[in-house]
Chains A and B, each alone.
Chain A
Amino acid sequence: MIRTTVVLGIAALIGACGGPSGEGDRPQLRVGFTRHLTMAAVFITHAQGYFEEQGLDVELVPLHATATSIPALARGQLDVLPGPMSPSLFNAIHRGAPIRIVSDKGSFTKDGCSHNAFIVSPEVARAEGKIALKRASWGREPFMQFAAERAVEYLGYDLDEIDLTFVPNAARYDAVVSGRLDGGLIGEPRLTHFRRQGGAVWAETNEVLPGHQISVYAFGPRLLEEDPELGRRVSIALLKGVRQYNRGKTPENLRILAEALDWDLALLQDVCWPPMRDDGLINAESIREFQEWALERGDLDAVLPAERYWAPSFAEHARSVLDAGR
C-alpha cells in the first residue's frame, strides 16, 4: 500500500514538472478560431506543422465568435486572435488593452472571387425595373453590417427605406430563398449553394469594397510585450500558412480544410476562398473608413491612427525570413 502511494506520488510529481518528454521546452500558445472558411490559413498552418517548425506547441481554441473574444486576448487567455474588423478591437486598444493587429488575414480583391454577396429573393429577381427592397437582413457582426450597407448603397437603395431585421445566418438564407425577406447578405458556403440553385446575386462585396480589409491577426500581451521573439516565430508560421493557403485548391489544402470544416471536397472546390495577402500587410485606409462608419453609429470611442493598432514589425520580420529562404 505504502509502495503504491510512493509510486503514485512520484508519478504525480513528474507529471506536474512537465508533460511528455520532448514537449517540455516548447512554448505553449493558444490560438482562437471559429469553424469558418475565413480561418483556412490557421487550419493549414496548424495541420502542416508550421508552428512546430518554429518550435511552438499550439493549441487551437474553438470560439463562438472572435469579436467577443477580445477580452480573452487582452487578458492573455489567448495569444493569437484571428478575426474580422470589429469595433471591439479598436475600443479595447483605445481603452488601453495590450493588443495589436500584426498581420492581414483577408481582404476583398477586385479581381478575385467574392465570398460574401447581397442576394435577393426569386420574386425580387423576377420583377421588372427597380423594385423596392422592403425587408432585408444581414449579420449582427458590425463588419458585415458595414459591408451590407455599402452594398445597398452601391445598388442605389436608401437604407432608411428598408425594414432591416437581424436574422441568424442559416435562417437568413432560407428566408431570402422562400421570399420572407427581399434580400440579405450571405457568405460561404451558402453563397455557393445559392448560386448552384440559380439564385440572383445583386452585389458582390469585392466589387462594392475593393481592396478593403476584412480580417486580421491580432496578438495579445505575451507575444507583443513579454516575449516579442516568440511573436516573431508565430508570425513566420502564420505567414507561411497564408502562403500555403494562397497556392489555392491543391489536394493538400483541400484535404486539410475538408477535415477542419467538415465540408465535402466538391463544395470546397466550388466555394470562393477569401483572398489573403502574401506579404501580411494591411490596408490602413480601408480600416480608417470602417472606423469612421462605426464612430458615426456610436459603436466606437474614437478613430485610431494606424500607429495605435498596427504593429508591422512582426509581418515585416516574417516576410524577410520567408523571402530569404526562397
Chain B
Amino acid sequence: MSRRESNRQVVDSRWIPAIVVSIALVSWEGSARLGALPGFLFSSPTIVISTLVQSLASGEMFRHIAATLLRVIPGLLLGAIPGFALGIGMGLSPQLRRGLDPLLAAVHPIPKIAILPLVMIFLGVGEASRIAVASVAAFFPMLINTMAGIRQIDPIYFQVAENYGASRLKLLTRVVLPGSLPLVLSGLRLAANVTLLVTISAEIVMADVGLGSFVWLAWETLRVELLYATLIVISTLGITLTASLRFLQSALAPWEVAEPRR
C-alpha cells in the first residue's frame, strides 16, 4: 500500500463517526416529523437544539452548569490531592501499602452515591455533602494510579539515585514524580470523569440546581427536549474536561502523549 493511499484511509476513517451521526440525526429528524416516533418521547433534533439555544440564551442552562462546576472542581481538588499524597506514600512504602490495601479494597467498590445519606448526617444537607461525595469519588482513582505509577518505575532508577547519595527530596523530584507522572495524569483524568458522574448523580438525588437536578426535572415533567438538551451539555462538559486534562498531560508529560511514528 502506497503512503498516499494509507493517508487517504486515515482521512476517510476520521469522517466515519461524523457520517454515522449525521445519518442518525437525519433519520431521527425525518421520523419525528413524519410522526413515526411518539412525540412525547422523542423530540426532533431541531427542537432539541432550539431548546438548548433558548436555555443558554436565557441563562438558565448556565446557572445549572455553574452550579455543577462549583461542585466538580472543589470535589476534584479535595479528592485528588489527598489521593495523590497517599498514593505516593503507598507507592514508596510497602508497610503502608500492606496496611492500607485491605481497607482500600473494601471501600473502593462502594458506589460513592450510596454514602450520600451517611455524609449528610455529618455534613448536613447543604453544599458540603455534595462536594464531599464528589471528592471521595475523585480520591480513589488518583490514589490507585499514583501508587501504580510509582510501582512501575524500574528499581534501577532508585538504586542509581541511592548510589549517588540523592536526598529524599531529590529522589521524589527526580525519580518518583517524573517516573509516575503519566499514570498520575491518567488517574487525574479518570478522577475528573468520575467526579463529574458522581456530582450529577448527587444532584439528581439532592439538589435544586445543577445539571443532574435539571435532567431529573426534565424527566419528571416529561419535557424530553430539555432532557436531551441537558444531556448534550453534560456530554460536552465531559469532553471539555477530558480535553483540558489531555492538554495538561501533553504539556507535563509530552513523551507519553506523542504517538510513535510507524
Contacts and interface: CB of A to CB of B under 8 A. Distances in A.
Interface of A: 65, 67-68, 70-71, 74-75, 86-88, 91-92, 95-97, 137, 140-142, 164-168, 170-172, 174-175, 180-181, 294, 299-301
B220 A86 contact: yes
A171 B120 contact: yes
Nearest to A96: B39
B214 to A, nearest CB: 12
Given A92-B40, A95-B39, A165-B125, A70 B206 contact: no
B237 interface: no
B117 A171 contact: yes
Contact of A299 (B38, B117, B221): B221
Nearest to B126: A165
Given A91-B222, A92-B40, A175-B125, 4 more contacts: A91-B40, A96-B38, A165-B125, A175-B120
B125 A88 contact: no
Contacts of A91: 40, 221-223
B124 A88 contact: no
Interface string B39-59: 111000000000000000000
B40 A74 contact: yes
B38 A142 contact: no
Nearest to B127: A165
Contacts, number: 77
Contacts of A140: 216-217, 220
Contacts of B193: none
A71 B125 contact: no
Contacts of B221: 86-88, 91, 142, 294, 299-300
Interface of B: 38-41, 117, 120-121, 124-126, 205-208, 213, 216-217, 219-223
B177 to A, nearest CB: 42
Given A74-B40, A171-B120, A137 B125 contact: yes
7 contacts: A71-B41, A88-B221, A167-B120, A175-B124, A180-B124, A181-B125, A299-B217
Nearest to A71: B41
B40 A67 contact: no
Contacts of A165: 125-126, 207-208
Nearest to A97: B40
The residue in A65, A86, A171, A174 that gathers the most chain B C-beta atoms within 10 A of its C-beta is A171
Given A167-B125, A170-B117, A175-B124, A74 B220 contact: no
Contact of A166 (B120, B206, B223): B206
Contacts of B126: 165
Contact of B220 (A75, A92, A142, A164): A142
Contact of B222 (A87, A137, A170): A87
A170 B205 CA distance: 12
In the A-B complex, list the 3 residue pairs whose CB atoms are closest, starting with the nearest.
Answer: A88-B222, A95-B40, A87-B221
A96 B124 contact: no
A175 B120 CA distance: 9
Contacts of A175: 120, 124-125
Contacts of A75: 38, 41
A53 to B, nearest CB: 34
Contacts of B41: 71, 74-75
Contacts of A88: 219-222
A144 B8 CA distance: 60
Nearest to B35: A96
Contacts of A65: 220
A167 B206 contact: yes
B201 to A, nearest CB: 13
Contacts of A167: 120, 125, 206
B163 to A, nearest CB: 58
The residue in B39, B125, B223 that gathers the most chain A C-beta atoms within 10 A of its C-beta is B125
Contacts of B124: 175, 180
Contacts of B222: 70-71, 87-88, 91-92, 95
B120 to A, nearest CB: 5
A299 B227 CA distance: 12
Nearest to B60: A298
A68 B41 CA distance: 12
A124 to B, nearest CB: 16
Contacts of A168: 117, 205-206
A68 B206 contact: no
A97 B124 CA distance: 41
Contacts of A97: 38, 40
A162 B223 CA distance: 27
A145 B117 CA distance: 22
Nearest to A93: B40
Given A91-B40, A168-B205, A170-B117, A180 B125 contact: yes
B40 A96 contact: yes
